[in-house]
A = this chain, B = another copy of it.
Amino acid sequence: MTTTLACPEEQDLPYNVFAKACPSRGTLEHVTGRWGGLTLGALYEGSMRFNELRRRVDGVSEKMLSQTLHALERDGLVHREAQPTNPPRVDYELTALGREVAARLLDLIHFVEGRMDDVLASRDRYDDTRGAR
């Protein structure tokens, strides 16, 4: 690298996702993974039960939702509250840290949703010029 650092807040932290071995890369993958992002986004609306969450995150299987929730709970982003009733009732909710992460994620999600027309138009142009080949 030369001296250019256009990045507005280039931090000098011990963690750096760009490094292969940095644990932050793993957490980022939990957060931005196929189901992690949608799960955090759904829980931002409020506490939810397992099957409620399953319906909200269209297409997720029981197994993947379970795995995803475990990973997020382990990272301290989701809190699991089980009531020993019968039938059992378990509620999932974001922790304070989870809410901060989810807010940033939703900002990204909403932005992308809002610009999908541009994206689809770009795809058409790309496919027209390159696909003709």
Contacts and interface: CB of A to CB of B under 8 A. Distances in A.
Contact of A18 (B27, B56, B121): B56
A110 interface: yes
Contacts of A63: none
Interface residues of A, number: 63
Interface string A1-41: 00011110101011111111001100111011110011001
B17 A109 contact: yes
Interface in A37-90: 37-38, 41-42, 44-46, 56-59, 73-77
A123 B75 contact: yes
Given A20-B59, A41-B17, A74 B126 contact: yes
How many chain copies?
2
B13 A113 contact: yes
Interface in A86-128: 97, 100-101, 104-116, 118-123, 126-127
Given A23-B120, A28-B108, 19 more contacts: A13-B114, A13-B116, A14-B116, A15-B116, A17-B38, A17-B41, A17-B109, A18-B56, A20-B58, A24-B116, A28-B109, A31-B112, A74-B127, A76-B119, A76-B122, A97-B115, A97-B118, A100-B111, A108-B108
A45 to B, nearest CB: 5
